[in-house]
């Protein structure tokens, strides 16, 4: 039995990137032997084991042969006769097919180190096209490593296009699509992920709602002075911008939709072939549901796109409408949303100013956060002493908040 370190740990070490996980391959063994050595089996499709002390993953060397559609239908051989080279050959990219033995010696049968030096993402063999998930994985690696100058080999891109044209990616589950997309949204350049998927023709299939949004005919009829590019370019540019400001997947996704939401008005009856805001919201909801996005992400996205115009002009809004908004989003129990919304709006305004070469001025000034701090703590004891009960208490608190905000505005307490 021989054990080798493989994959991402070697790749990241070479590139001086953080090594968060270590994966190991075992050659010349069986599940029974590993179980006797106190390894815990966790794999269902093929034997994956957790080390009894380190809890790191150890897999038996295996080969895979496609037997159906999608990324699950493979005949797997993990017998003790499978060699290290055979195991490495089944992997997606050459830079992920490097192994290291217990003495520190590297085994690199597919020139992965050469491709690391040349900054190229290259497939290992024609079997690359058997797994549709690799389209998303390569796009994710491109997003993760583009800041280091990595690019996709042209023949690998052709294979990715072949996979798409074969319609194999239709067999990917929504959870798998989201998992890869979530990982891509955590990278240095998440916009590269979407751009690569556009280039290999996968984007309209994987994200039909987003594709319809960025290809709407709306801009043929209306134009905004602050939109110097198409909505597709806006998607890439805005994602690149927010990625430099914040690494939260939730905020990055919400910002992506925020930047496109402003270009879909509530009503455009006189214009044919347009997309109004209600249809836009419907598409965004479908996007969230189809990919099974976490509830907290979905809620923030819908709050920000439904109230975009209101939030952009909040300083001009009445006290009652502001308090009603805070009630609607349940700000009193979820104050974190206030900080998130403020960050998104301020980032968007800076983005617009930057892309139109307008000198940035101090605007918005954390207005929503200031309002919240003023009205978030009503005098509950005083209200209860007045004998209010049930709904009367809620109405009294609401009235106090509106009056308090009105008084603050009248006194012009805006030095914040």
The CATH number of residue 78's host domain is 3.30.460.10
73 marked as binding residue: no
Closest CA to 71 of 140, 172, 160: 172
Q: How far is CA 76 from the centre of its chain?
A: 31
Domain of 400? 377-410
Within a 10 A sphere around the Cβ of 14, how many other Cβ atoms? 15
Stretch 43-51: mean pLDDT, rounded? Answer: 78
317 contacts 405 by C-beta, under 8 angstroms = no
Whether 276 is covered by a domain: the verdict is no
Q: Is 395's pLDDT higher than 70?
A: yes
Are residues 111 and 124 both part of a single domain?
no
Contact 207/322 with Cβ under 8 angstroms? no
Q: How many domains does the chain have?
A: 3
For the chain, what percent of residues have pLDDT higher than 90?
59
List the beta bridge partners of residue 5: 24, 100
Same domain for 149 and 93: no
Overall average pLDDT of the 82-90 stretch: 92
270 part of a folded domain: no
Picking from 32, 13, 29, the residue whose alpha carbon sits closest to that of residue 21 is 13
Q: Is 21 assigned a ligand-binding role in the annotation?
A: yes
Predicted local confidence at residue 71, as pLDDT = 53
Least confident of 256-260, 308-312, 326-330, 353-357: 353-357
Q: Which of 157, 176, 206 is the last residue of a domain?
A: 206
Tell me if 292 is assigned to some domain. no
Residue 362 lies in a domain: no
Q: Kindly report the average pLDDT of the chain as a whole number.
A: 87
> Any binding-site annotation on 23?
yes
Mean pLDDT of 73-88: 83
Tell me what the mean pLDDT of segment 326-341 comes to. 94
Torsion of CA 187, 302, 229, 356, to 10 degrees: -90
| Token pair recorded at residue 353 | 């100013």
Q: In this model, does residue 98 exceed pLDDT 90?
A: yes
- pLDDT of 404: 94
- CATH at 169: 1.10.110.30
pLDDT at 20 over 70: yes
Class of residue 283 by CB neighbours under 10 A (exposed 0-12, middle 13-18, buried 19+)? buried
What whole-number distance in Å separates Cα of residue 113 and Cα of residue 115?
A: 5
Weakest mean pLDDT among 279-283, 362-366, 373-377: 362-366
Residue 48 lies in a domain: yes
Q: Is 230 helix (H, G, I), strand (E, B) or coil?
A: coil
Q: Residue 75 — very low, low, confident or very high, per pLDDT cuts 50/70/90?
A: confident
* Both structure tokens of 55: 């809890």
Q: How confident is the model at residue 281 (pLDDT cuts 50, 70, 90)?
A: very high
Q: For residues 112 and 172, state if they share a domain.
A: no
Looking at the structure, tell me whether residues 168 and 195 fall in a common domain. yes
Give the tens place of pLDDT for each residue, 177-189.
Answer: 999 999 999 999 9
* 63: helix, strand or coil: strand
Please, which pLDDT band fits residue 354 given cuts at 50, 70 and 90?
A: low
Q: Is residue 96 in a domain?
A: yes
Domain co-membership, 14 together with 88: yes
Highest mean pLDDT among 38-47, 69-78, 83-92, 403-412: 83-92
* Alpha helices (H) along 170-222: 174-185, 190-199, 203-206, 208-214
| Cα–Cα–Cα angle for 333, 337, 341, rounded to 5 degrees | 150
| Exposed/middle/buried for residue 255 (C-beta within 10 Å: 0-12, 13-18, 19+) | buried
pLDDT attached to residue 9: 93
Whether 301 is covered by a domain: the verdict is no
Number of H helices, E strands in the chain: 20, 11
Candidate from 43-47, 56-60, 243-247, 385-389 with smallest mean pLDDT: 43-47
Beta bridge partners of 93: 123
Whole-angstrom Cα distance, residue 252 to residue 238? 9
Asked if residue 28 belongs to a known ligand binding site, the reply is no
Statement to judge: residues 1 and 73 lie in one domain? yes
Residue with tokens 């809004």: 317
pLDDT at res. 26: 92
- Rounded to an integer, what distance in angstroms lies between the CA atom of residue 288 and that of residue 281? 11
Q: 98 and 129 share a domain?
A: no
pLDDT at residue 358 is higher than 90: no
Task: Quickly count: other Cβ atoms within 10 Å of residue 326's Cβ.
Answer: 22
Q: With 90 as the cut, is the pLDDT of residue 145 above it?
A: yes
11 annotated to a ligand binding site: yes
Q: Is the pLDDT of residue 270 over 60?
A: no
More confident residue, 146 or 41: 146
Of residues 234 and 122, more confidence is placed in 122
Condensed to tens digits (0 to 9), the pLDDT of residues 203-219 reads 999 999 999 988 876 54
Residue 361 CB-density burial (10 A; 0-12 exposed, 13-18 middle, 19+ buried)? exposed
Chain segment 337-346, per-residue pLDDT in tens = 999 999 999 8
The highest-confidence range among 37-46, 65-74, 84-93, by mean pLDDT, is: 84-93
Was 387 annotated as part of a binding site?
Answer: no
- Do 109 and 126 lie in one domain? The reply is no
Same domain, 59 and 19: yes
Q: If pLDDT is split at 50, 70 and 90, which confidence band does 360 have?
A: very low
Position 364 scores a pLDDT of 55
Q: 128 in a domain, yes or no?
A: yes
Q: Is the pLDDT of residue 69 over 70?
A: no
Rounded-to-integer distance, Cα 9 and Cα 345, Å: 38
- Residue 86 and residue 127 share a domain: no
Q: Where a domain ends, among 118, 150, 169?
A: 118
- Average pLDDT on 260-287 reads 72
User: Are both 137 and 147 inside the same structural domain?
Assistant: yes
Q: What are the tokens at 254? A: 């919400």
- The residue out of 178, 206, 234 marking a domain boundary is 206
Enclosing H/E stretch for 106:
strand 106-107
140 assigned binding-site residue: yes
pLDDT at 44: 67
């Amino acid at each position: 039995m021989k054990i080798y370190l493989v994959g991402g740990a070697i790749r990241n070490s070479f590139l001086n990137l953080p090594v968060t996980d270590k994966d190991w391959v075992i050659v010349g063994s069986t599940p029974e032997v590993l179980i006797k050595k106190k390894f815990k089996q966790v794999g269902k499709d093929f034997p994956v084991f957790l080390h009894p002390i380190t809890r790191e993953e150890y897999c038996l060397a295996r080969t895979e042969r496609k037997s159906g559609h999608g990324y699950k239908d493979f005949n797997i051989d993990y017998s003790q006769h499978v060699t290290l080279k055979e195991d490495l050959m089944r992997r997606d990219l050459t830079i992920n097919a490097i192994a290291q033995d217990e003495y520190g010696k590297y085994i690199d049968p597919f020139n992965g180190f050469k491709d690391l030096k040349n900054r190229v993402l290259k497939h290992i063999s024609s079997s690359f096209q058997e797994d549709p998930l690799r389209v998303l994985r390569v796009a994710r690696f491109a997003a993760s490593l583009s800041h280091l100058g990595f690019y996709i080999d042209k023949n690998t891109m052709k294979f990715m296009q072949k996979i798409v044209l074969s319609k194999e990616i239709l067999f990917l589950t929504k959870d798998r699509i989201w998992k890869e997309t979530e990982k891509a949204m955590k990278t240095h350049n998440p916009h590269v992920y979407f751009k690569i998927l556009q280039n290999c023709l996968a984007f309209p299939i994987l994200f039909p709602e987003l594709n319809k949004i960025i290809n709407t005919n709306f801009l043929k009829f209306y134009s905004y002075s602050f939109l110097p590019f198409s909505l597709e370019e806006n998607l890439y540019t805005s994602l690149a911008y927010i990625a430099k400001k914040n690494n939260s997947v939730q905020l990055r996704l919400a910002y992506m939709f925020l930047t496109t939401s402003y270009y879909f008005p509530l009503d455009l009856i006189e214009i044919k072939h347009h997309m109004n805001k209600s249809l836009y919201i419907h598409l965004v909801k479908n996007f969230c549901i189809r990919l099974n996005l976490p509830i907290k992400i979905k809620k923030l996205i819908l709050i920000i796109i439904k109230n975009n115009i209101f939030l952009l002009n909040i300083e001009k809004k009445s006290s009652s409408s502001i308090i009603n908004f805070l009630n609607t989003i349940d700000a009193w129990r979820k104050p974190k949303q206030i900080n998130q919304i403020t960050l998104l709006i301020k980032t968007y305004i800076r983005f617009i100013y930057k892309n139109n070469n307008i000198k940035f001025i101090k605007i918005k000034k954390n207005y929503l956060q200031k309002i919240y701090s003023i009205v978030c703590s009503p005098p509950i004891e005083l209200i209860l002493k007045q004998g209010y009960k049930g709904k009367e208490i809620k109405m009294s608190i609401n009235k106090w908040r509106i009056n308090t905000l009105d008084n603050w505005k009248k006194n012009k307490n805006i030095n914040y």
